[in-house]
Amino acid sequence: MKQKRPIVALIAFFSMALMYVPSIAVAVFSVNDAIYGLTWRGFTLRWYQKLIQNEYIIDAAINTLFVATVSTLIATVLGTALALGLYRFPWPPSCHRLFDLVINIPVVVPDIIMAVALALAFNALRLLSKTFDMGMVTLVVAHVTFQISFVALVVKSRLESLGPETDEAARDLYASSFFHFRRVTLPLIRPGIIAGAMLAFTLSLDDFIISFFNHGPDSITLPIFIYASIKRGLTPEIHALSTAVLIVTAIPIIIAERLTRKF
Amino acid sequence: MGQDSRPPKIRAQETTAKEILTQETTANEAPARQIQAPIVPPKDKPSAKDKTKTLIWLGEFTTRFSLRLRALALAGPPLLWLTLLLALPCLLLTGLAFTSRGPYGEIVFELTFDNLARLFGRTNFGWSPAFLYIIARSLWVALVTTVLCVLLAYPLTFHIATRPAKKRVYWLILLVVPFWTNVVVRAYAWLLILGPQMPPAQLSAALGLIRDGAPLYPGPLAVYLGMVSTFLPFMALPLYTSVERINWEILEAAKDLYGTRYMIFKQAILPQTRPGLAVGIIVTFVPAMAMFVVTDILGGAKSMLIGNLIQQQFAQARDWPFGAALSGALMFMTLLILAIFRYRQRPGERVGGGLFTGFR
Amino acid sequence: MTDQINVGLLCGGVSKTFGNHKALIDVSLSVNKGEIVTILGPSGCGKTTLLRIIAGLELPDNGFVFLDSEDITRVPASKRPINTVFQSYALFPHLDVFSNVAFGLQARKTPKSDIVLKVRNILALVRLDGMEKRFPHELSGGQKQRVALARALVNEPKILLLDEPMSALDAHLRSQVQEELRTIQKKLGTTFILVTHDQNEAKRLSNHLAVMHEGKIIQFGTTEEVFTKPANKFVAEFLGATNFIDASRVSDTVYDTHYGPMLVNDKPNWNNGKIIIWPERIQIRADAVPGENNWFSGKVMDRLFNGDGVDILLVKDSDDDVPEKPILVKAKPDFQVESGQRLGVFFPPEHLVPLDKHTLN
CATH number of A55-259: 1.10.3720.10
Query: What is the pLDDT at residue C6?
Result: 55
CA distance B17 to chain C (A): 10
pLDDT at position A210: 92
Domain assignment of residue B53, yes or no? no
Amino acid B27: pLDDT? 35
Residue C188: is it exposed, middle or buried by C-beta count within 10 angstroms (0-12/13-18/19+)? middle
Q: What is the dihedral of CA C312, C318, C319, C322, to 10 degrees?
A: -70
Contacts of C103 in chain A (CB under 8 A): 170, 173, 175, 183
For residues C54 and C37, give the distance between their C-alpha atoms in angstroms, rounded to a whole number. 13
Under an 8 A CB cutoff, do B76 and A85 touch? Answer: yes
Interior CA angle at C223 toward C218 and C224, to 5°?
115
- Give the residue with greater pLDDT, A248 vs C288: A248
Chains near A with 3+ CB pairs less than 8 A apart are: B, C
Residue that wins the pLDDT comparison between C264 and B350: C264
Average pLDDT rounded to a whole number, residues B12-36: 38
Break chain A into its structural domains and give their ranges.
Answer: 55-259
Q: What is the pLDDT of residues A141-182, one digit of tens each?
A: 999 999 999 999 889 888 888 888 899 999 999 998 889 999
Mean pLDDT of B38-53: 47
Find the CB nearest C107 among A165, A175, A263.
Answer: A175
DSSP class of residue C231 equals: S
CB-CB under 8 Å, C7 with B9: yes
Which residue segment(s) compose the domain that B258 sits in?
129-350
Per-residue confidence band for B100, with pLDDT thresholds at 50, 70 and 90: confident
Instruction: Count interface pairs A-C at CB distance under 8 A.
Output: 66
Task: Give kind and range of the element (H or E) at residue C195.
Answer: strand C191-196
Confidence of residue C49 (pLDDT cuts 50, 70, 90): very high
Q: For residue C35, how far is the Cα from the chain centroid?
A: 13
pLDDT at C96: 92
In chain C, which residue's Cα lies nearest the Cα of A189? Answer: C94
Confidence label for C359 from pLDDT (cuts 50, 70 and 90): low
Q: Looking at residues B167-184, what average pLDDT do you find?
A: 82
**pLDDT band of B251, cuts 50, 70, 90:** confident
Counting the structural domains of chain B, the total is 1
Of the listed ranges B276-290, C110-124, C320-334, the one predicted with least confidence: C320-334
Strands (E), chain B: 54-57, 60-63, 100-101, 107-108, 122-123, 126-127
Number of neighbouring beta carbons within 10 Å of residue C248: 11
Average pLDDT over residues B26-45: 41
Q: What is the pLDDT of residue B45?
A: 46
Would you say A4 and B165 are in contact if contact means Cβ atoms under 8 Å apart?
no
Query: What's the Cα-to-Cα distance from C252 to each of C197, C249, C261, rounded to whole Å?
Result: 37, 7, 12
Residues of C in contact with A259 (CB under 8 A): none
**Mean pLDDT within C202-228:** 88
Q: What is the pLDDT of residues B64-73, one digit of tens each?
A: 888 889 999 9
pLDDT above 90 for C312: no
Q: How confident is the model at residue C243 (pLDDT cuts 50, 70, 90)?
A: confident
Q: Provide the greatest CA pair distance for chain C.
A: 80
ipTM: 0.84
**Structure confidence at residue C154 (pLDDT):** 93
Inform me whether the pLDDT recorded for C267 exceeds 60.
yes
Is it the case that residue C135 has pLDDT exceeding 90?
yes
Instruction: Classify residue A105 as exposed, middle or buried by CB count within 10 Å of its CB (0-12, 13-18, 19+).
Output: middle
Domains of chain C, start order = 9-81+157-228 (3.40.50.300), 95-150 (no CATH), 244-354 (2.40.50.100)
Q: Say yes or no for a CB contact (<8 Å) between B60 and C229.
A: no
With bands split at pLDDT 50, 70 and 90, how would you rate the model's confidence at B52? low
User: What's the confidence (pLDDT) of residue B339?
Assistant: 79
pLDDT tens per residue across span B290-304? 888 888 888 877 778
- Cβ-defined contact of A173 to C86 (cutoff 8 Å): no
Cα C82 to Cα C191: distance, rounded to the nearest angstrom? 10
Task: Pick C76's closest partner by Cβ from B29, B32, B60.
Answer: B60
Strands (E), C128-190: 159-163
The secondary structure element, H or E, covering residue C145 is helix C141-153
Residues β-bridged to residue C314: C300, C327
pLDDT, greater one: B296 or C320: B296
Residue of chain A whose alpha carbon sits nearest to that of B351? A154
pLDDT tens-digit profile of B196-216?
A: 777 777 777 777 777 777 777
* pLDDT at C119 (0 to 100): 93
Give C103 or C234, the one with higher predicted confidence. Answer: C103
Does some domain include residue B209?
yes
Provide residues of B within 8 Å CB-CB of chain C: 6-7, 9-13, 15, 17, 24-25, 28-29, 31-38, 40-41, 43, 54-56, 59-61
Q: Which residues of chain A make contact with B216, given a CB cutoff of 8 A?
A: none
pLDDT digits (tens, 9 = 90+) for B124-171: 666 667 778 888 888 999 999 999 999 999 989 888 888 887 888 788
> Which CATH number do you get for residue B325?
1.10.3720.10
Average pLDDT of the residues in C260-288: 81
**pLDDT tens, position by position, B277-333:** 888 888 889 889 888 888 888 887 777 888 888 888 887 767 788 888 888 888 888
pLDDT at B262 over 60: yes
Nearest C-alpha neighbor of A15 from the set B236, C109, C220:
B236
Alpha-carbon distance C219 to A79, whole Å?
Answer: 53
| Helical segments of A109-215, H only | 111-126, 136-161, 164-172, 177-180, 186-206, 209-214
DSSP, residue by residue, B258-286? -SSHHHHIIIIIHHHHHHHHHHHHHHHHH
Which residue of chain A comes nearest to B348, CA vs CA?
A104
Is residue B90 situated within a structural domain?
Answer: no
The average confidence (pLDDT) of chain A is 85
Closest CA to A60 of A194, A261, A256, A244: A244
pLDDT reading at C317 higher than 80? no
Contacts of C55 in chain A (CB under 8 A): 172
pLDDT score at C100: 94
**More reliable by pLDDT, B3 or C103:** C103
| Listed residue (C98, C100, C157) closest to A183, CA to CA | C100
Please check whether residue B347 is in contact with residue B283, taking contact to mean a CB–CB distance below 8 angstroms.
yes
Torsion of CA B89, B91, B97, B99, to 10 degrees: -80
Rounded to the nearest integer, the mean pLDDT of chain C is 85
